[in-house]
Structure 1
Amino acid sequence: MKIFDFKMYTSGMNPGAQAPERKVRQPKPPKGGPVFRVLISLLITLVFGGIYFYLKLPALNIHNEGLYSFVILLCIVFSVCMILLQGFRSSSVREYVGYTRKKLAVPFVIVILSILVMVVGSIAGWVVFRAKAYSELMPMTTGDFAAEVSEIGWSQIPLLDENSSNNLANRKLGELSDLVSQFEVDDASAQINYQGNPVRVNYLNYSDFFKWWNNRGTGIPAYIRIDMRSQDVEVVRLEEGIKYSPSEYFNRNLLRHLRFQYPTLMFDDVNFEIDDEGTPYWIASVLTKRIGLFGGADINGAVLVNAVTGESQYYDIGDVPSWVDRVYSSDLIVNQYDYYGRYHNGFWNSIFGQKDCTETTDGFNYIAQDDDVWLYTGITSVTGDRGNIGFILVNQRTKEARYYSCAGAEEYSAASSAEGAVQQFSYKATFPLLLNISDQPTYFMALKDAAGLVKMYAMVNVQQYQIVATGNTVSDCQQKYHELLIENQILAEEEPETEPEVELLKTSGKIEEIRSANIDGNTIYYLRLEKGTVYYTVSAKEYPMAVILDVGDRVDISYVQSEETLVEAEELEIKK
């Protein structure tokens, strides 16, 4: 029996007729041809890449990991543009994916190659395989501390650490009404040698965008220089303001200025320094990778940028001017020594046996020596004990490194020892400064109260850190420290100086003239013998018989050879 089809009846279709074939809806073809889509995608990618480069400033250098990330990002932007412009042209997702993969084969290959280079380059510089190369980044020599580090007097000791220096700079800026409302002190002060004195220099930043906008024509008008010995703070005003700094915007921003002039160079650290005439410069350390593609960071030169004019010049590391004090950053020096200390006997030894494995202590300071700035840090065992086996000094301009064997307290133990000597005041010690005091490696530190004000000073012997001297002044502290070294038989007791023997001459004769004068309550007699021109001085306090001398008396006088008219008599004898 034939069943009645209600849908066919209502639709007017003949029940016996075959249903028409359903048409597949085809998408509209994209506007423009393949070349047009590629050109538009490339244009958008270039615009995006230009904006990204302007903001992020990646170095166009094969040793820069960021370059490969930049390339991958550009490929992704290009691919997205191509996908959006070509539209959905296939009857199924599978066909669409296959079609798209063919069109985007080039950016896909670039991404794969970039990832492959990053992986292979990282493995080539992996410390597991290249431990020896890492340990050789910092050549090390052994030195004699007493002979190579000059002994320093109390008047030449740098008294300020970075925090104290920054506090003084901020306080000085607060006294200047024309500057304090527009600028602020940057805390990244660098210790340098200026005309033979250790100083810290602080540069100023614009307080905000609007302060920059108001002052951009004249620039930053001054910097602050602080003498670390006398603690004098000077605001150095410039005839022409600083136009290139980290707080500038757009093309005068320091890092952007450097990148546009040197697009392929990698920069490690940028420091503010002044030359011998006081001209402000930015010292940009140029980074290189010596192990594999991305490993073994080191410095091979520096770019010096005049902070006022923006003029710059690149120097190889051996040609950097001698007034520059800081090319190798503290972190890079510490990292390179740690490579040396851990891996000079191989990588696996640093994990299992740890024979002769050392590392730097937590913290460092600086020493002014030979018109250069040397980084100081202690060396301790990797097992993490509380003692030093020695310390290193590294020149921050040349990377000349010296190791001094000197078992003793590490810096924080010495600081605790100094704080314990004045525990009733609850003072806190600054990070120790290593000095040569009486040919002894000595930690020097300031003791501050809760407000950060320096109240006392302390000296702690590196090898015997129970020897602690404190004083309200540096000279008092150094004198007490010297006495403690003698008491503990580290120094021999000083014998009183004996005057050298001198030959005495003798003369005899009659007194032809006597004169006298009262000097500071003491009567001095001046005797001239007959036919003589010299007056011999005699003190009545030393020779009471001189008061009864008369003209015509015969005397014997002993004296020291002299060309003067007045000669002091060493001995006087009256003849009858």
Structure 2
Amino acid sequence: MKIDFNAGGFGGSPFGAGGPFGGFDFGGASAPQEDYQPQKSEKKAAKPIQSPVRRTLTNLLVTVVFGLIYFYVVLPPINLKAPEFYSFVFLLCAVYCICAVMTTGFQGDGAKGYFNFVRKQCRIPFYIVAALIAIALVGGVLSSVILRADAYQKLLPIETGNFAEEVDQLSFDEIPVLDRDSATRLGTRKLGELSDMVSQFEVEDDYTQINYQGKPVRVTGLMYGDIIKWFNNRAEGLPAYLIIDMTTQEVTVQRLEEGIKYTTAEHFNRNLVRHLRFQYPTYMFATPYFEIDESGAPYWVCARMDKTIGLFGGVDVKGAVLVNAVTGECVYYDVEDIPSWVDHVYSADLILQQYDYYGRYHNGFINSVLGQRDVTVTTQGYNYIAQDGDVYMYSGVTSAGTDASNVGFILSNQRTKETHYYPCAGADEYSAMSSAEGILQQMRYTATFPLLLNISGEPTYFMAMKDNAGLVKQYAMVNVQEYQIVATGTTPEAAESAYLQLLMESGTITADDGQALIEKTQAEGTLAEIRTAVLEGNTYYFLRLEGEDVFYSISAAQCSDVVIMNVGDAVTISYAPTETGSILDAYSVAWTDKPSGSAWQAPQQDVAEAAPAGETEETEPVL
């Protein structure tokens, strides 16, 4: 027989009022008044997924979805030679591990227990990461320039040539007189003149220099002004591209029947880089170049890169994909089969890097660090010149020490990588720029980075001189070997004639050689009229010969003798033969038979400003 005893009586507390122990004090302790009841608002922890198969499928699904989104946005090449691929795989492994821990639930006693639990869940990703790290370490060692210096110096085959014999003397309708900055200004200004485009589009920052129909030009596409304008115009595409003639400074807006739909500034699947990645997921590409073929059809030239030394070293071009900018059609060519109209396959930076490998390591890695015998590097700058239908990259070559002289220069074909080295000790490009700026220091003009020309067999720096507004005002020529020989002119032809005169005076070339070039650009006669005008702070003289209708303009800074010439003097005027109009730029004026004892007289007439080509402004004579 079971007897239930309740010390508190009838279910009450034995320490409560009326209980058998109700009057006693047990050190301040009091019995609880009511039993504890759990709160309904408290939530239980989420249960882990119990099924191993379900857990694995969930982890894989989340990882795949994340990977697809990441691949669409970042576009890493699926290639063991690409560092981006390793980052992509490491990130996927991290996502999988996080999912595995969350779907299993944290288990373990203490830090060590948790670590063992995580390691167990992430065993396969851990092995993948460890394997890739091992591959990268071994590949990095095999790519080291310390071990493979000889392979690096052979990346760029170089032939030594004779400058005077191999480099053509170009006419000035083949020589780019604009630099990239000036071309950019002209392109932006031209778009601003087009009312139907300026509100919707902007000019892309491509300005690729190419050889188009035998002339050096820069081409660039357009891009949408913003995302709203893209949405409104994306169906028709970009309606045109720009061609900037580097010799005449003329800008042409080439309108298209069907708009350009694939550019680097496009969005989603029409973005050029994304379009290429989906077509060629394993290829590594260099920066695409915008070019046009001889018919004017727009293309993107996308060089396919490869690492030829070890796993990560010896970057070189393996081929190129040509993408039709209108249709998006892609065609791959091996490097030896690339069409001849393509000009930019090997970038200038890649060629310079490969030459620096040759210059540093052709006598071994140790020599590049200790002794540095015959160690050479390219100068900090380059330019382009068109020759034989291709675009060549030019850069100076200097010794490894910090000096202001060159030991030679290289010309490299940017389509074939054919490279020639021409030994020629002389001033470097920046010294030549300083010399040209010094001749015109009162004007405060800034020289552009020079081109390298063959002028009468002499390697010559040619550069444009720009004012503070970025406008080309004059041109300068500086002899590479004797950089104190500096000539300037308001036209390239004027600068060349003055330069040839200096070469003859210095004995660098013979008088016969110089005159053979200069005589084609001379006019002789008697001065019939002289006018003057002040333009941009310079006094210009406008000379007319008897029996002629044209005026020849020249500044006092170019020829000081013109200040004391008078009507009736017999003179010889050298001028630019390619110019037309009623006012021609002269670059030298000399007496044919200098009058003896003639007193100076004021020029016959003044004009407030130069008359435009094709017009002659009549003014009253100065009294």
TM-score, with structure 2 as normaliser: 0.75
1:193 and 2:201 are equivalent in the alignment = no
The aligned runs of 1:9-158 (5 Å cut-off) are 30-158=48-176
1:446 and 2:464 are equivalent in the alignment = yes
Deviations 1:107-150 (A, max 9, x none): 11111112222222112111111111111110110011111111
Does structure 1 retain, via aligned residues, the 8 Å contact 2:395–2:409?
Answer: yes
Corresponding residue of 2:344: 326
Change in 2 beyond 3 A, CA 1:460/1:87? same
Corresponding residue of 2:412: 394
Instruction: Report the AA paired with residue 177 of structure 2.
Output: L
| 1:211 Cα offset (Å) | 1.0
* Structure 1 stretches of 4+ moved >2 Å: 4-12, 26-29, 88-97, 153-157
Change in 2 beyond 3 A, CA 1:5/1:97? farther
* Alignment equivalent of 2:223, drawn from 172, 187, 205: 205
Corresponding residue of 2:269: 251
Corresponding residue of 2:598: none
Deviations 1:237-295 (A, max 9, x none): 00000000011100000000000000000001200000010000000010000111011
Alignment partners' CA distance in 2, 1:328 and 1:441: 25
* Alignment equivalent of 1:178, drawn from 196, 204, 214: 196
Alignment partners' CA distance in 2, 1:11 and 1:98: 46
| 1:330 Cα offset (Å) | 1.0
Alignment partners' CA distance in 2, 1:5 and 1:113: 73
Does structure 1 retain, via aligned residues, the 8 Å contact 2:243–2:251?
Answer: yes
SS at match of 1:272: strand
Does structure 2 retain, via aligned residues, the 8 Å contact 1:188–1:202?
Answer: yes
Deviations 1:191-214 (A, max 9, x none): 101111111101111111111111
1:231 and 2:249 are equivalent in the alignment = yes
| 1:94 Cα offset (Å) | 3.0
Instruction: Report the AA paired with residue 52 of structure 1.
Output: Y
Corresponding residue of 1:512: none
1:351 and 2:355 are equivalent in the alignment = no
SS at match of 2:288: strand
Instruction: Report the AA paired with residue 252 of structure 1.
Output: R
Instruction: Report the AA paired with residue 153 of structure 2.
Output: S
* Alignment equivalent of 1:380, drawn from 392, 395, 398: 398
Corresponding residue of 2:453: 435
SS at match of 2:277: helix
Alignment partners' CA distance in 2, 1:11 and 1:37: 49
| 1:389 Cα offset (Å) | 0.3
Instruction: Report the AA paired with residue 234 of structure 2.
Output: R
Alignment partners' CA distance in 1, 2:234 and 2:165: 51
Alignment partners' CA distance in 2, 1:27 and 1:155: 80
Alignment partners' CA distance in 2, 1:284 and 1:154: 31
Corresponding residue of 1:477: 495
| 1:440 Cα offset (Å) | 1.0
Alignment partners' CA distance in 1, 2:209 and 2:76: 29
Deviations 1:362-417 (A, max 9, x none): 10001101100000000001102100000000000000010000001100100000
Alignment partners' CA distance in 2, 1:27 and 1:246: 49
TM-score, with structure 1 as normaliser: 0.81
Alignment partners' CA distance in 1, 2:360 and 2:307: 20
SS at match of 2:97: helix
Change in 2 beyond 3 A, CA 1:5/1:56? farther
The aligned runs of 1:258-337 (5 Å cut-off) are 258-337=276-355
Does structure 2 retain, via aligned residues, the 8 Å contact 1:63–1:294?
Answer: yes
Alignment partners' CA distance in 1, 2:233 and 2:132: 44
| 1:58 Cα offset (Å) | 0.3
Does structure 1 retain, via aligned residues, the 8 Å contact 2:308–2:315?
Answer: yes
Does structure 1 retain, via aligned residues, the 8 Å contact 2:101–2:121?
Answer: no
Alignment partners' CA distance in 1, 2:481 and 2:149: 32
Alignment partners' CA distance in 1, 2:373 and 2:136: 33
SS at match of 2:151: helix
Instruction: Report the AA paired with residue 232 of structure 2.
Output: N
Alignment partners' CA distance in 1, 2:217 and 2:55: 61
Corresponding residue of 1:517: none
Alignment partners' CA distance in 2, 1:271 and 1:105: 45
* Alignment equivalent of 2:507, drawn from 489, 495, 499: 489
Pick which of 113-122 and 230-239 moved more.
Answer: 113-122
Instruction: Report the AA paired with residue 432 of structure 2.
Output: A
Change in 2 beyond 3 A, CA 1:9/1:378? closer
Corresponding residue of 2:531: none
Corresponding residue of 1:370: 388
Change in 2 beyond 3 A, CA 1:281/1:28? closer
Structure 2, unmatched stretches of 5+, are: 1-23, 33-43, 517-546, 548-623
Does structure 2 retain, via aligned residues, the 8 Å contact 1:29–1:89?
Answer: no
Deviations 1:431-450 (A, max 9, x none): 00111111111110011111
Does structure 2 retain, via aligned residues, the 8 Å contact 1:445–1:459?
Answer: yes
Alignment partners' CA distance in 2, 1:88 and 1:320: 58
Instruction: Report the AA paired with residue 368 of structure 1.
Output: A
Does structure 2 retain, via aligned residues, the 8 Å contact 1:27–1:88?
Answer: no
Change in 2 beyond 3 A, CA 1:37/1:413? same
- Identity over aligned pairs, percent: 57
Change in 2 beyond 3 A, CA 1:221/1:93? same
Deviations 1:68-100 (A, max 9, x none): 111111000000001111112345443333233
Structure showing greater Rg = 1
Does structure 2 retain, via aligned residues, the 8 Å contact 1:273–1:282?
Answer: yes
Instruction: Report the AA paired with residue 188 of structure 1.
Output: D
Does structure 2 retain, via aligned residues, the 8 Å contact 1:415–1:432?
Answer: yes
Does structure 1 retain, via aligned residues, the 8 Å contact 2:174–2:386?
Answer: no
Does structure 2 retain, via aligned residues, the 8 Å contact 1:433–1:444?
Answer: yes
* Alignment equivalent of 1:220, drawn from 238, 244, 248: 238
* Alignment equivalent of 1:162, drawn from 176, 180, 204: 180
| 1:11 Cα offset (Å) | 6.3
Change in 2 beyond 3 A, CA 1:449/1:30? same
Pick which of 380-389 and 155-164 moved more.
Answer: 155-164
| 1:62 Cα offset (Å) | 1.2
Change in 2 beyond 3 A, CA 1:326/1:5? farther
SS at match of 2:311: coil
| 1:6 Cα offset (Å) | 5.5
Change in 2 beyond 3 A, CA 1:30/1:471? same
Alignment partners' CA distance in 2, 1:145 and 1:180: 46
The aligned runs of 1:400-439 (5 Å cut-off) are 400-439=418-457
Does structure 2 retain, via aligned residues, the 8 Å contact 1:445–1:458?
Answer: yes
Corresponding residue of 1:459: 477
Corresponding residue of 1:571: none
Pick which of 338-347 and 111-120 moved more.
Answer: 111-120
